[in-house]
Amino acid sequence: MRAYLRNIKETVGTIFEGMSVTFSHFVRKPYTVQYPDRMPMRIEDTLPFRYRGILEVDLEICTGCLACERACPIDCIVIDAVKDKQTKQMMLNRFDIDIAKCMYCGLCSEPCPTGSIHHTTRFEGADYSLESMLRRFVKQPVPAYKPKKGPETDPEIVPLLDRGLRYIDEFAKPADAPSAAAKGAKAGASVPAAGGAEGGAS
């Protein structure tokens, strides 16, 4: 009988102990963080450059080498690059990434010679359908980028190449590999060549 009453006493005591913590919040100033809004700084701005977020492609510096498509272990990247018979220029007709299948491994970014395909700091990929998570970067056929033998002079391309080479140095290359930026410094903003696609762009 004593054990029974002791159990009742302990039960009532623990209930009051737990509720005292709950009721104490009624008189406290709330400090709830309204994620992701009402933050002094965007969450994306607090993440490091090497963060593996949602993939992005800078078509302006994509060489159409298909290295990223071949490197993807789950085939979430589909590229259609064809050489124009008249202009002899590599044309990108399709560059799709299925974000729903992507596992953010970063293997596609490593072989890219220009850093065209890269992870961003964006991480919210939720959507209402799987079809809407298929990102189509090519709206109409665009010419593939062909690295120049000398420094890049196009003012719109140079910032993209700088970012791409920095991405390769800080994310894709192992510590003991030669720096892509160092290579680029020897030839201005030139891009290291990569073997693969026809036309010398790769």
**pLDDT (tens digit, 9 = 90+) per residue, 138-189?**
999 999 998 888 888 888 899 999 988 888 888 755 555 555 555 544 444 4
The amino acid that residue 173 corresponds to is K
3, burial (CB in 10 Å: exposed 0-12, middle 13-18, buried 19+): exposed
Give residue 128's region: left, alpha or beta (phi > 0; psi -120 to 50).
alpha
Residue 194 has pLDDT above 80, yes or no: no
- When the pLDDT of each residue in the chain is averaged and rounded to a whole number, the result is 82
Cβ contact 95:62 at 8 Å = yes
> What are residue 56's DSSP bridge partners?
118
Residue written as token pair 């290291």: 192
User: Which residues 6+ apart lie within 8 Å of 62 measured at CB?
Assistant: 92, 95, 114, 116, 117, 144, 145
Q: Whole-model pTM above 0.85?
A: no
Q: Hey, what's the torsion of the CAs at 5, 6, 12, 13, to 10 degrees?
A: 160
What is the per-residue pLDDT across 80-101, written as a single tens digit (0 to 9) for each? Answer: 999 988 888 899 999 999 999 9
For residue 187, the Cα-to-chain-centroid distance in whole angstroms is: 28
Q: Would you state the pLDDT for residue 49?
A: 84
Phi, psi of 41, rounded to the nearest 5 degrees: -145, 140
With beta carbons less than 8 A apart as the criterion, state whether 50 and 171 touch. Answer: yes
- What integer pLDDT is reported at residue 186 of this predicted model? 46
